[in-house]
A = this chain, B = another copy of it.
Amino acid sequence: MAKNEKQFVEEITPMDVDFAQWYTDVVTKTDLVDYAPVKGFMVIKPYGYALWEKIQAFFDAKIKATGHKNCYFPLLIPESLLTKEAEHVEGFAPEVAWVTQGGNKTLEERLCVRPTSETIICTMYAKWLKSYRELPYLYNQWCSVVRWEKTTRPFLRTSEFLWQEGHTLHETYEEAEKETLDILQMYKEVCEDLLAMPVIDGQKSESEKFAGGERTYTIEAMMHDGKALQSGTSHFLGQHFTKAFDITFSDREGNLANPYHTSWGISTRLIGGLIMTHSDNRGLVLPPRIAPTQVVIVPIAANKGGVMEKVDEIYAQLKERGISVEVDDRPNYSPGYKFNDWEMKGVPVRIEIGPKDIENNHALVFRRDTLVKEAYSLEGLTDSIADLLERMHYDMLEKARAHRESRTSVAKDMTEFKKALEEKPGFIKAMWCGCPECEAKIKAETAATIRCIPFEQEDLGTNKCVYCGKEAKDMVIIAKAY
């Protein structure tokens, strides 16, 4: 293995040498993504897009099963609509791309390339909605959005990204609140059940909430380097937009009322999270449920009698079982090269099989996550591999959770806080009085931000704000973040 190891060390910068460069190497050298000619824009290559398709399929099935429907709203939004909700325009206007010319003519009104679609969708909802009988509106769209970012990094922050944005209307406050939380739960399932990426769910502070909304709920994951990644947000928007856009319906008593409103989104950013949760110095490590190819079979001495027959047999059985499997029978590459190649690509399981293995009635099975290679009996190999893939999902989830726990500290005051952040960069649990001044000062002094007020509150043995020492309101998770 020494030789392989060396090859990778040369190709991919090790994490502990330069974490940012490690990330860039992994995403570009494993063919997930490339830089586009316009700064800040990315091309999602087929291998990267296959990950997004899996996320789409998983989440789309969940929202459809709960009565949501997809639709499509225009890419371009007139400036006059963007400015209708005051806080919203303040939040988004600075990062908008403007279309000013169409068909060789200067437009009378600038059109923004959607940074998010509340304003255009609310405009249409105002036109459509008449009666409480039509509620709830449970609509979603899959599309791309543009936000003119200054500092970008593939998947994590790019000037254009792919996402889904759900926009729902409800008769009552309670229903809308429930929707917001139900969706957050589905986002948690995308992260934990598909990506094996554990998240903490909670509420954003006032200063971190969606521009124009009432409350934002979030799921926060921890990356390898201890930084937080906001992985999905679900906004309870109350009646802010429905009033600004004059969306009304005649309620059960025949009175005109404004509905309650939610919006929620996950994006290709999740792919960045996936990578910084599981991958290593050899390249990608993909959890089995998201891996486009779950198993690769590498024949050893393929020209020897019986090898390819056995390989084809194993391939057929795995495929029959619904496992996504490939055979690497490229004639001009050595097994060592192939091993490297598939390890870098993060394929969860590799099966090696040659004449000696067949003689011994076994195959060598390599786990990408643990780098452990073991002999598996050819009897019941399909069952063993199916079990292994299932187990790997939970092992990877658990490993990521253990990493998060090992990088989580408790701080009672700012001395403890700064020490923890210095010695063990990661999540810090602390009490907070709830005032934006303390929040801003923590950020100014440490560059760490309140990631969320977790739903699951804990007793930290103090009831004093970590910053001001006054009576605290909530336990919060504070961390540096992407």
* Residues in chain A within 8 A of chain B (CB atoms): 34, 36-38, 41-46, 48-50, 52-53, 69-78, 81, 93-104, 110-111, 113, 120, 123-124, 127-128, 139, 143-144, 146, 148-150, 159-160, 162
Contact = CB atoms under 8 A, between A and B. Distances in A.
B69 A43 contact: no
B100 A98 contact: yes
A42 to B, nearest CB: 7
B76 A50 contact: no
Contacts of A46: 69-71, 139
B99 A103 contact: no
Contacts of A37: 77-78, 81, 120, 123
11 contacts: A34-B124, A38-B76, A43-B74, A45-B71, A46-B70, A74-B160, A76-B97, A93-B104, A100-B100, A102-B148, A103-B149
Given A37-B81, A73-B36, A97 B104 contact: no
Contacts of A74: 36, 38, 41-43, 160
Contacts of A124: 34, 36, 43
Contacts of A146: 75-76
A98 B101 CA distance: 5
A75 B123 contact: no
Given A46-B70, A71-B43, A74-B160, A95 B100 contact: no
B72 A49 contact: yes
Q: How many copies of this kind of chain does the complex include? A: 2
| Closest A-B pairs by Cβ, 8 of them | A103-B148, A46-B69, A98-B101, A44-B72, A41-B74, A102-B148, A36-B74, A97-B102
A117 to B, nearest CB: 10
A96 B103 contact: yes
A112 to B, nearest CB: 9
Nearest to A98: B101
A123 B46 CA distance: 16
A36 to B, nearest CB: 4
Contacts of A110: 101
Contacts of A73: 36, 43
A70 B49 CA distance: 7
A99 B113 CA distance: 9
A380 to B, nearest CB: 31
A70 B53 contact: yes
B71 A120 contact: no
Nearest to A93: B104
A43 B125 CA distance: 11
Given A71-B44, A143-B144, A34 B103 contact: no
Contacts of A100: 98-101
Given A34-B127, A74-B160, A94 B99 contact: no
A137 to B, nearest CB: 9
